[in-house]
Amino acid sequence: MRFLGIGDYNSLGDMYWRLAEAGHDVRVHVEESEAHEIYAGMLHRIDDWRSQLDWIKDAGDDGIIIFETASMGESADALRRDGFHVVGGSAWSDRLERDRAFGQQVMREVGMQTAATHEFQDYAGALAFLRKNPARYVFKLSDGVSASTRNYVGEMQDGSDLVALIEMERNAQGNAAADFVLMEHLSGIEVGVGAYFDGHSFLQPACIDWEHKRFFPGDIGELTGEMGTVVSYRGSRRLFELTLAKLEPELRNARHCGYVNINTIVNDAGVWPLEFTCRFGYPGFAICDALHSEGWDRILTKMTRGGDRSIGTREGYAVGVVITVPPFPYEYGYAELSKGARIAFRERPDDGERRHLHYGEVALSQTGLITSGSLGYIMVVTGTGLDIDSAQSAAYQRVRNVVVPNMRYRNDIGDKLKRSELTALRELGYLD
């Protein structure tokens, strides 16, 4: 088969590499110049993805285009109209993820309950709102491109910490356009529900996930996107029916083909959807892969051709741990601190162990694997098991086999889930 990957930072490099290792012809377009060296020596990078369309078309049903981001939906829509098999977003689903207020509106229209959300295009209006309505809120940028570290979960019941944050944003950004929401803070268990959509219906089973977004153990520090996640393809039916299933007609109308995830808060009052991800998540796609009993080639084919709406998955859980180097989660100083460092292993991984190492910003040099890219996001290490304990143990055993100068990772991925949250979700009736 032929696969053409299109993205900004080669974020699906691990998927492309596995497809290439399975014998498929893979070409990758990486838009940002600082990411051109990611997977250098490992993947075939091309400069102009449009020049490859005839190459894909010549493969017929065996040619698939993959969009990584939630920003090229219009291009994906046009290619689908021209008869190409495309996995990625659509113009409508891009807006669903990037425009947070619109995403909340759609959730309400399809029958989900949502937290109160207030949209702002200027800092002064937000400050006036907070002074009039002091409470605990979550600050989320809506531009779709800003780093996760700029989002903030308010801690003070009077909103004073958010007032200070927004004043700092105003001083730093000056007259630059602003686009963000303040969402009512909800207490409960954070859990995501995700599934692959084939343009008409969701493939089954759906997965459920528990992200660990903050940088340090104990949920301390910046919001990074994810530092690790627990995933399972079992027990998701109830949460799926209350969330993603309600969205199926709208996704069908948009001709969306790809992964969709809804992040939620679950408490005694029900399930509260927070935000959409209408693309493959990072590191989510790699952690899901650890539970797949079939390759990405078969899953991508099912998404684009329709028909078989089941995917082969394993019982139990996958625990994924993100390994980074300084200055992650920031870019400043990466070239001086960590770029070009050698990635080593205490014991050489065999093929079975290699399946659980999902590389991020790496390249292949004459001396072996080295760090590359612009951020210091090195790899995701996974472990699987019938319970969280065994999956966690397998993941951390593999993490300890990796040696990179000054590598960092959280050592508590899954702790809170196995200690209390899994039992609470079962008692509330949201796990099958």
Percent of residues, the chain, with pLDDT higher than 90: 91
Domain 116-184: CATH class, spelled out? alpha beta
428 pLDDT higher than 80: yes
| Both tokens assigned to 219 | 């949920």
Cα–Cα distance between 268 and 197 in angstroms, integer?
A: 30
Taking residues 225-229, report their average pLDDT.
Answer: 95
Residue 142 has a pLDDT of 83
243 pLDDT higher than 90: yes
| pTM for the structure as a whole | 0.94
26 pLDDT higher than 80: yes
Cα–Cα distance between 193 and 176 in angstroms, integer?
A: 35
Fold of the domain built from segment(s) 2-96 = Rossmann fold (3.40.50)
Under DSSP, the state recorded for 150 is G
Please tell me the CATH superfamily of domain 189-428, with its number: ATP-grasp fold, B domain (3.30.470.20)
Residue 145 has a pLDDT of 63
Select from 410, 412, 224, 212 the least CA-distant residue to 323.
Answer: 410
The CA angle 411-417-419, to the nearest 5 degrees, is: 90
Judged by average pLDDT, the poorest of 22-26, 179-183, 211-215, 242-246 is 179-183
Hey, where are the domains in the chain?
2-96, 116-184, 189-428
Edge-first strand order for the sheet with 189-198 is: 270-277, 257-267, 189-198, 207-216, 220-232, 317-324, 377-385, 357-359
Helix H or strand E segment including 73: helix 73-81
| Both tokens assigned to 151 | 């989002």
Q: Which residues pair with 191 in a beta bridge?
A: 264
Q: Which residues pair with 88 in a beta bridge?
A: 257
